[in-house]
Amino acid sequence: MLLGLAIGDALGYTTEAMRPGERRRVFGEIRDYRPGVRGEGRTGLPSDDTQLAFWTLEQLLEDGHLVPEHVARRFLNNRAHIRGIGRTVRAFLDRLEMGYPWYEAAPHSAGNGALMRIAPIILPHLRTGTRALWWDAALLAMLTHNDAASTAGCLAFVFIWWQLLQGIRPDHPDWWIETYVSVARHLETSNYRPRGGEYLDFEGPVWQFVARHVPEAYYQDMSVREACDRWYSGAFLLETVPSVLYILMRHADDPEEAIVRAVNDTYDNDTIAAIVGATVGAMHGAQALPERWRRGLPGELYGDDPGRVQRLITQAMEQFGP
């Protein structure tokens, strides 16, 4: 799960926020790590998706359980190292610096910045499987994004990953939609409107958009790019969640193709590929991810610490594994 997250992020990071057509025109189809386009000149480096997720993991390993204040402080202390920081996390850190307590610092935002880093919260609960997982997941989600769609999305994907890690396997493409909606529909309390794409007349919760439009695209046999262009595939959860679920409906049985489609066919491709990567990693295991990706991942978090991601995964397996 964690390795898939880091790989998906690293594959997408260097062409983040390009329209899929423009990305293909410039780079062709991306199937391997590319040199950084922000002057870094190196391949396989992480963005904030990997950094925030693995800094969360570092803190969980240190404390043995979730201490939200400690996670918030780690994010703030590492602020100078964050690559591609989002507006919501930036505002959260600004408020911490102004003296807000961690539980009052999160802006209202339905962006994907909490979902991209939430996966490690499962690990301290692997041995017990108690309801405390859901409290912790909600707290960790709300740390930076004080929004019902964000919290619902995080809990829904934690539920999906939890089931996959327990060996449950989807028996039908609709499983992804049904499982997501079964959690999110009970937690969302706000309505949202698209900011682009072809569904500008929609107004409602994210789960309702997912239930209405993602299966519709699937049974019309749209390609990932065609479907994701319909709902814009950006960093807004009304765009990110449909994109992730659609890719999983079509390609979850092929981890490489699932991640490749996320990297090539979406706008916020590093985050969408990170979430897709975490999911297919949880479903299939590390050995199902291409060896060239596993071998070529530098695993840095700060820029001068190669292999840190891999060491943290090993430590997590030893400390939290069943």
The domain of 216 spans 2-320
Question: Beta partners for 236?
Answer: 111
Residue type, 144: T
- Which tens digit of pLDDT belongs to each residue from 140-161? 999 999 999 999 999 999 999 9
Report the predicted TM-score, pTM, of the whole model to 2 decimal places. Answer: 0.98
Number of structural domains found in the chain: 1
In this predicted structure, what is the pLDDT of residue 139?
98
Alpha carbon dihedral 231, 237, 243, 245, in 10-degree steps, equals: -130
SS3 277: helix
- CATH number for the domain spanning 157: value is 1.10.4080.10
Q: What is the pLDDT of residues 260-294, one digit of tens each?
A: 999 999 999 999 999 999 999 999 999 999 999 99
Report yes or no: 11 and 46 within 8 Å, Cβ to Cβ.
no
Amino acid, single-letter form, for residue 197: G
Tokens 């003296």 belong to which residue? Answer: 99
Query: Would you tell me how many other CB atoms lie within 10 Å of the CB of residue 63?
Result: 12
**Per-residue tens of pLDDT for the chain, all 322 residues:** 999 999 999 999 999 999 999 999 999 999 999 987 655 678 999 999 999 999 999 999 999 999 999 999 999 999 999 999 999 999 999 999 999 999 999 999 999 999 999 999 999 999 998 999 999 999 999 999 999 999 999 999 999 999 999 999 999 999 999 999 999 999 999 999 999 899 999 999 999 999 999 999 999 999 999 999 999 999 999 999 999 999 999 999 999 999 999 999 999 999 999 999 999 999 999 999 999 999 999 999 998 899 999 999 999 999 998 7
